[in-house]
């Protein structure tokens, strides 16, 4: 009776799944073997449980601090008709905190349309205002197809930002607050 489901399939589902359902005894044996193997490999590779725990406690503190970073206030140079959404304000605060953290920055990975461009530009503006300069120009590297959009958004959001349009404008790079450089992948 090849078409009849096994005892496990009858108890666990309709038999349409590719997932294997083990008997109770088999699961316990498998888990014990995996734990022994994992522990042996971890110890052999220099794993120290207390160091591991301490690292994650510090990492947790860094993450919590980033989420509790204070809002920096007004964004210098931002057009008066533009305001940041709450999630963008949190992103700017977190980025400013992360800039001086052990990681020296962060990745802002919001979904498309959530305003990452404005969040990044606001972070640049606040950083520049707090320190008097960025310590040099800010370089935005993006696909060539996105550079024009970045340049447009800079102009839409900020009143006094000088921006160059391509890698070829090398002299203006040193004079600009923000430069957008593109690349084109030939493939």
- Residue ranges of domains in the chain: 50-135, 137-187
Contact 85, 113 (CB under 8 A): no
Tens-place pLDDT, residues 122-137: 988 888 887 766 566 6
120 CB neighbour count, 10 Å cutoff: 20
Which residues in the chain land under pLDDT 70? Answer: 1-39, 42, 132-137, 160-177, 183-187
Phi-psi region at 132: left, alpha or beta (left = phi > 0; alpha = psi -120 to 50): left
Tens-place pLDDT, residues 29-57: 555 566 666 667 767 777 778 888 888 88
């Amino acid at each position: 009776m090849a078409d009849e489901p096994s005892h496990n399939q009858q108890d666990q589902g309709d038999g349409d799944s590719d997932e294997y359902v083990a008997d109770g005894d088999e699961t316990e044996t498998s888990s014990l073997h995996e734990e022994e193997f994992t522990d042996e490999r971890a110890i052999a590779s220099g794993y120290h449980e207390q160091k591991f725990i301490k690292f994650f406690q510090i990492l947790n503190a860094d993450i919590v601090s980033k989420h509790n970073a204070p809002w920096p206030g007004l964004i210098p140079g931002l057009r008066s008709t533009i305001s940041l959404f709450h999630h963008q304000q949190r992103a700017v605060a977190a980025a400013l905190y992360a800039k001086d953290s052990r990681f020296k920055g962060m990745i802002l990975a919001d979904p498309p349309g959530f305003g990452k461009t404005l969040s990044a530009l606001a972070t640049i503006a606040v950083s520049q205002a707090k320190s008097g300069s960025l310590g040099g120009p800010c370089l935005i590297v993006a696909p060539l197809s996105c550079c024009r959009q970045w340049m447009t958004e800079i102009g839409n959001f900020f009143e006094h930002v000088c921006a160059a349009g391509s890698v070829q404008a090398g002299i203006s790079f040193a004079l600009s607050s923000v430069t957008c450089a593109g690349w084109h992948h030939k493939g």
